[in-house]
Chain A
Amino acid sequence: MNVSSAAIRACGLVKTHGQGQSRVRAVDEVDLEVPQGQMLAVMGPSGCGKSTLLHLLGGLERPTDGEVWVAGRRIDTMSERALARMRRRSVGFVFQAFHLVEELSATENVELPALLAGRSRRQAGRSRRQARRRAGLLLERVGLAARARHLPSQLSGGQRQRVAVARALVNDPLVVLADEPTGNLDTAATLDVLRIFQELRAAGQTFVIVTHDERVAATADRLVSMRDGMFVDDTRLDGSHTGGLGGLIGLGG
């Protein structure tokens, strides 16, 4: 696989927490490459380092050792300023707890990262209109056009997460990083979010999803399992097929 086709690449990634005796390797020598347009799921018990890994890949934390490349640029050595700009432009985050601004409407929440990424004061008026239009399109895409003016408190958990997904996409990021995106959702809302992810991936969006839900992980192209900061299993889920759905319920084919 050539380097340029990888949306995200990490090599020899290490992150330690704590000092001396209580020093813990949250991420321990991880190598990873996610090609553009792929969905990678990371599973593992709580405390295995999967969330820390996601934070390292998205530039929310800096590694103790190793390299992280996003969109062909090394990010672990960037200045804070450059790193913040990279996060705004290249990475969309979706969290279990949604993290919406309670005082802002759905539309305002979605357009917020676009406004923060706005370039100059002179362009502000124009970019504001563009952000509003893009927020509207994205809310329509996640099935919430009719609730664009609602505050988060007026939305269900599933709807809030869909707003958060729209917000993650507003700057057209190279990669979406999702940490337990369905952790607070019931089955129907989980399926809504997964359907949106599938559509986006079909359109070429790259994803890294951390989850403890097998049914979320099963929608990925590739699944890695983590224990004690290391990858212990790596499964390709695309490609080979099991020979017909009918076989799964004992019907002949």
Chain B
Amino acid sequence: MQDAVLAMLAKEPSHGYHLHDRLRRSLGPLGEAMNRGQIYVTLARLERAGLVVCERADGLPERPERKVYALTPAGQQRVAAWLAEVGWPKPDLAEFHLKLAAAAAARLADPVELVAAQRRELLRRLREVQQAVLAEPAGQPAGLLLEGVVLRLQADLRWLDACERAWSEVDDDVEGG
């Protein structure tokens, strides 16, 4: 969030509410939950870190919405570094994988049932995103983000199918042997 806000200031110095509008436009329905307070909190942190400066319009009472934020040289460097960075969020599959193994080993729960419950949860999420995709007019930039969320959920669902197959076979082996 901090990096994204900084990068948006690279275009021009901006009011907090203006940044908020731009972020929400880019995120589409996924950004609806984001409130303006989060932007101001982020800007305050960036200011303390010396990455942005706040210019106040003269002669006006001090209120957050009067402030205009601009990048400092350090802020500009940070934006350049962020753009060059190739880090990528890692989905935490290991935790679920270990949950299944532990449940099976201790006979706490049937891994196949755990997979089925997880699958239902992901399908409900997929439905929610898919509703947003269908409601979004084609060609909107936010549609692209929704598409990414859909593809990730689909990948997770396929992995759960593989988990279900594998753990069903374990069951069969136990019953057969």
Contact = CB atoms under 8 A, between A and B. Distances in A.
Interface residues of A, number: 28
Contacts of A82: none
A188 B123 contact: no
Interface in A169-222: 187-188, 191, 194-195, 198, 214-215, 217-220
A226 to B, nearest CB: 13
B157 A245 contact: no
A246 B32 contact: yes
A233 B124 contact: no
Nearest to A45: B161
A241 B130 contact: no
A249 B128 CA distance: 13
Nearest to A233: B116
B119 to A, nearest CB: 8
Contacts of A233: 116, 119-120
Contact of A195 (B33, B134, B150): B134
Most chain A CB neighbours (cut-off 10 Å) among B38, B127, B128, B154: B127
Nearest to B34: A251
Contact of A215 (B33, B120, B130): B130
Contacts of B154: 214-215
B125 A251 contact: no
B130 A245 contact: no
A246 B138 CA distance: 20
A20 interface: no
Contacts of B150: 215
A251 B30 contact: yes
B114 interface: no
A233 B118 CA distance: 12
B8 interface: no
Given A191-B138, A214-B157, A219 B127 contact: yes
Given A198-B134, A219-B134, A233-B116, A245 B32 contact: yes
A237 B134 contact: no
B157 to A, nearest CB: 5
Contacts of A219: 127, 130-131, 134
A217 B126 CA distance: 9
B149 interface: yes
Interface in B97-134: 116, 119-121, 123-134
B123 A237 contact: yes
A235 B120 contact: yes
A30 to B, nearest CB: 19
9 interchain residue pairs of minimum CB distance: A246-B33, A253-B33, A218-B126, A218-B127, A235-B120, A237-B127, A218-B130, A244-B33, A214-B157
Interface of B: 1, 27, 29-34, 38, 116, 119-121, 123-134, 138, 145, 147, 149-150, 153-154, 157-158
